[in-house]
Amino acid sequence: MVRLAISVEGQTEERFIKMVLVRHLQARGIYAVPLTLGSGGGHVSLSRIRKDLNNLANSFDKVTTLYDFYGFHDKKAGESKDSLEHKILECVAAPLRARIIPYVQMHEYEGLLFSSPEAIENNLQQTGLADWANKILQQFAGNPEKINDSKETAPSKRLLRETSYIKTVHGPNIAKDIGLIVLRAKCPGFGAWLDILEALSQ
């Protein structure tokens, strides 16, 4: 059994891990525990990450992260997913870095939900949402992880503006309905992260 801590940004991601990933990983001998960053999640910054990950690395076999690129407070102009993940790794004391699997979701968690416009419509029960979500996907070559990250166009901002979306309720429920097979196929970054986690059992 591999003990895996997953440091998450907030309650939405915590529920997603519990509802979608925990059982999947447990079947592979990986005991995953989602833990919100800091005392209550939110405000993803390197200072908070440093404190949490160093503590977790002393208590778990492996530690990974699920933070949004969009909401990362230390993000500088020209920053990339790779550069942020490198900074996360460097937050941890050198002897513990082998235990760390940094992961930043592009551009944010809600992007994953666009993997299935039908699941969005079914859960939010608003006619026409599948067509609306499909039109957005077409603008980004069908890749939900490319839906961009401004205050107006981030996936969550689109959902909150056009629908009755409640992050902590609908976010995990929609992802559960979509399922991991579709999520990993439609979202290559997420799929690659899941491949790494599954490989921990080998």
For the chain, domain boundaries: 2-107+187-201, 109-184
pLDDT tens across 46-68, in order? 999 999 999 999 999 999 999 99
Position 56 scores a pLDDT of 97
pLDDT at 176 over 80: yes
Position 74 scores a pLDDT of 87
Least confident range from 2-16, 28-42, 88-102, 180-194: namely 28-42
Position 45 scores a pLDDT of 93
Q: In angstroms, rounded to a whole number, what is the distance separating the alpha carbons of residues 46 and 87?
A: 8
CATH of range 2-107+187-201; options 3.40.50, 3.40.1000, 2.60.40, 3.90.550? 3.40.50
What mean pLDDT do residues 121-127 have?
96
Position 151 scores a pLDDT of 87
What's the pTM?
0.96
Which of residues 184 and 42 earns the better pLDDT score?
A: 184
pLDDT tens across 146-175, in order? 999 788 899 999 999 999 999 999 999 999
pLDDT at 100 over 80: yes
Query: Predicted confidence band at 106 (pLDDT cuts at 50, 70, 90)?
Result: very high
- Average pLDDT of every residue of the chain: 96
Percent of the chain residues past pLDDT 90, beyond the cut: 93
Position 48 scores a pLDDT of 94
